[in-house]
Amino acid sequence: MLRKLIGPIIGLGFVFVLLLSLGTTVYSAVTEPAAETVEHEFHKEPRHLDIASNGLMGKFDRAQLQRGLQVYKEVCSACHSLKLVSFRNLADLGYTEAEVAGFAKGFQVPSINPETGETATRDGLPADRFPLIYPNEVAARAANNNAIPPDLSLMTKAREEGPSYIYSLLTGYQAQPAELLQKFPNAVTPPGLHYNPYFPTLNLAMAPPLVADNQVTYADGTPATIDQMAKDIAAFLVWTAEPKLEARHQGGLAAIIFILIFTGLAFGAYRNIWRGVKH
């Protein structure tokens, strides 16, 4: 008899401990609310970025993607890699084979000297991927205030509200608000970091990459304001993260149309088969 009761007793004891733990947690949350933090109070949600690829039927704006590529090459590529993107994929942006080959040639990619077997570099080929910026993490940290610049290939997928986050971050650098320093006097941005309310911890090692209008000169003549450059690089990084976005949207539309037609045919068959049957 005692053996039969051991199992239920242990189970009841386990449930009791769980309920006690839950009650203690709820009581602490009600009587001792979490202290306000500077991040919780001054962190901002990304501003919405309206670009052509948004929505269920979004499509890429090739001209904007080309401008974004230009911003990446002239501004971002000094620190950030695109290790998952091949040069030949740039043909999807509207470039010819010759233009892709010329673009790839402007990059040096790791290679092996066939005569000595030693490491070397060579001009990029369309089949190559964008090369890494730093040979290893130690070199990356040494050049960036002990922070590793993230690869941007999948950045819009890795961050919530990806393109909006990137756009807001690039245009959000500012001086710390006086209200923040009054309420949290010990939260002064440390030397070497930069205040940005769109970054989770408010302070990041990356200096503002877009510092002035006309920092790049767009080939299509579009005015290169800071706001425009930020939009263009965000749109470009949507493409690097999901280059087949348009095909996925088209496939989804075709599937929806097929389901609607099939549903209509099935309903018509149902009405025809059961037409003479009285309920």
Write the CATH number for 192. 1.10.760.10
- What per-residue confidence (pLDDT) applies to 19? 72
Residue 69 has a pLDDT of 97
pLDDT tens-place string over residues 155-204: 999 999 999 999 999 999 999 999 999 999 888 999 989 999 999 999 99
> Would you give per-residue pLDDT tens digits along the chain (279 residues)?
555 666 666 666 666 667 777 667 665 555 655 556 888 889 999 999 999 999 888 999 999 999 999 999 999 999 999 999 999 999 999 999 999 999 999 999 888 887 787 888 889 999 999 999 998 899 999 888 888 999 999 999 999 999 999 999 999 999 999 999 999 988 899 998 999 999 999 999 999 999 999 999 999 999 999 999 999 999 999 999 999 988 888 888 888 888 999 898 888 888 888 776 665
The reply to whether 24 falls in a domain is no
Which two three-digit tokens encode residue 195?
């205040």
Beta strands in 32-178, from DSSP E residues, in sequence order: 108-112, 119-123
Structural domains in the chain (count):
1
Contact 200, 220 (CB under 8 A): no
Please tell me the predicted confidence (pLDDT) of residue 64.
Answer: 97
Residue ranges making up the domain that contains 202: 39-85+130-241
Confidence (pLDDT) at 66? 97
Amino acid 271: pLDDT: 81
Quick check: is 115 in a domain?
no
49 lies in some domain: yes
- Per-residue model confidence (pLDDT) at position 120: 81
Q: What is the pLDDT of residue 198?
A: 97
Residue 60 near residue 52 (C-beta atoms within 8 A): yes
Helices (H) and strands (E) in the chain, counts: 10, 4
Please compute, for residue 12, the number of CA atoms within 13 A of its CA located in the half-sphere on the CB side: 5
The helix/strand/coil state of 261 is helix
* Domain membership flag for residue 93: no
- Is residue 145 a part of any domain in this protein? yes
For 206, other C-beta atoms within 10 Å of its C-beta total 19
**For position 27, what pLDDT does the model report?**
55
What integer pLDDT is reported at residue 278 of this predicted model? 62
What was the pLDDT predicted at 250? Answer: 85
Asked whether residue 212 is domain-assigned, the answer is yes
Does 255 reside within a domain?
A: no
* Alpha carbon 125 to its chain's center: 27
Separation CA 108–CA 131 (nearest Å) = 7
CA distances to 65, 68, 110, 216, 248 from 220, rounded to whole Å, are: 12, 12, 32, 12, 29
pLDDT value, residue 247 = 87
On whether residue 270 sits in a domain, the answer given is no
For residue 2, the model assigns a pLDDT of 53
pLDDT at 215: 96
Residue 109's nearest CA partner among 138, 76, 86 is 86
pLDDT score for 3: 59
Whole-number Å distance between alpha carbons of 72 and 59: 21
